[in-house]
Structures are given as structure tokens and as C-alpha cells.
Amino acid sequence: MSFVEIEQLIAKFRTAAKDKGDFATPAKRDHRFYDEMRTAALAIGKFDSPGKEAFKALLKDESVHVRSWAAATLLVEGDVEARIVLEQIAKSEGIIGLNAEMALREFDRGNLKPPFWKEGK
């Protein structure tokens, strides 16, 4: 496994998150993009620290959808920067802001499950 592989997986994750957006239609397409993000994130996670650091860089991505998914994933691990990112996104109007607000609320209640790092759905 190499840095190049990590970068390719990060690119796949970014593309799928941007294509998914708030919700890609039809639902089948939305599920496909989620599965692509999940597959890439699980593979990135297998790189341990270098993979997690590369994934953490997504918190600064230009796409709010990429930042949101990365932050929700890292928040479960207690990443302080992920919380800050979600708090900023929660101020946004629309579904993206509502999703960030809900993720923070569920995390604070102890109910937020990792969207990607675990093998089970």
C-alpha cells in the first residue's frame, strides 16, 4: 500500500460525495454513491495513521458535502476539528445544515454510529 493508493482512494471518496450531494436521484443512484464513499473510506482506514491523516485533510475540502461526510466520520472518533466543521456546516440553510445539526445532536446523545469505518452497514 502506498501514498498514491491513498490519494486515489481519497479522490474516489471526494467524487462520490460530491456526486451524491444532498441526495442523488433516483435513490438507487444515491445508494451507489454512498457505497462508493463507504468502500473508499474503509480502504483508506486500512492504511491506519497515514490513511486517517489523509482522510482528515478532507475537513478542509472545498465541497461542503465532502467536509460533512468526513466530519461525521471523524466526529465519532472524538476529533475536535470534525466537531468544529460540523458546527459551521450546521449554520447553513437546507438539508446539509440540518444533517450536520442532527449528526451533532446524535453524537451528543451517544447515538451517532460511524458511517464508514466499520465493516457492517
Cα(98)–Cα(72) distance, integer angstroms:
13
The pLDDT value recorded for residue 116 is 75
Cα gap 22→29, rounded to integer Å? 12
Is the model's pLDDT at 120 over the cut of 90? no
The DSSP code for 57 is G
Place of cell 445532536: 105
Asked if 63 and 17 count as a contact pair (C-beta separation under 8 A), the reply is: yes
Please state at what angle helix 95-108 crosses helix 80-90, rounded to 10 degrees: 140
Q: Confidence band (pLDDT; 50, 70, 90) for 38? A: very high
Mean pLDDT, all residues of the chain? 91
pLDDT tens per residue across span 68-98: 999 999 999 889 999 999 999 999 999 999 9
Above 80 in pLDDT, residue 13?
yes
Position 10 pLDDT exceeds 90: yes
> Model pTM?
0.90
